[in-house]
Amino acid sequence: MNPEVLSSYLPLFTEAFFLTVKIGWVGIGLSLLIGIFCAFILYFRIPGACAFVRCYVELFRNTPLLVQLFFIYYGLPTIGVSISAQVCGAVGLGLLGGSYMTESFRSGLEAIPVIQTESAVSLGMNRKQLFTSVILPQAFAISVPGIVANVIFLLKET
């Protein structure tokens, strides 16, 4: 390898690196938001939305990211929605990661023993206090390993 040729491309490599990091972190942030939202829908068993979330999770977990990106980048313009390649990458990562994050958050929420919820209610806690003081802290602690694994997975996918 010729170091002079490599050094001439260094600015392009640097620009590509920062673009990859930006797309990756936007996708991860989007996946966290989607995951939390969908996990709450599954946890509270909202009838119509629950079926939609299950279909979303199964669809995005069982198809390759490249196929999803093709549908987003080439399929959306056919219905009049045109987005840039960077936005397509971030949205694709966000949707893929959101399906995995949904399962991580859902498992954390469902791992809380029922006795703790019943104990909090018997102490006179309302639904907001129950969720913010009892369920969410424990569910988040249980979900951390899965969330970290999903973040690493999404960074590798970029």
Give domain limits for the chain.
30-157
Residue 1 has pLDDT above 80, yes or no: no
Q: What is the pLDDT of residues 69-123, one digit of tens each?
A: 999 999 999 999 989 999 999 999 999 999 999 999 999 999 999 999 899 999 9
What is the residue type of 26?
A: V
pLDDT at 5: 82
CATH architecture of the domain with range 30-157: Orthogonal Bundle (1.10)
Q: What is the pLDDT of residues 27-50, one digit of tens each?
A: 999 999 999 999 999 999 998 999
Question: Of 104, 87, 83, 126, which Cα lies nearest the Cα of 34?
Answer: 104
Distance CA 58, CA 129 (A): 33
Distance CA 42, CA 54 (A): 8
Quick one: three-class SS letters along 52-106?
A: HHHHHHHHHHCCCHHHHHHHHHHHHHHHCCCCCHHHHHHHHHHHHHHHHHHHHHH
pLDDT at 95: 97
Residue with tokens 């966290």: 32
Mean per-residue pLDDT over the chain, rounded: 93
Q: How far is CA 115 from CA 3, 61, 76, 125, in A?
A: 65, 32, 47, 14
- Helix (H) or strand (E) holding 139, with range, is helix 136-157
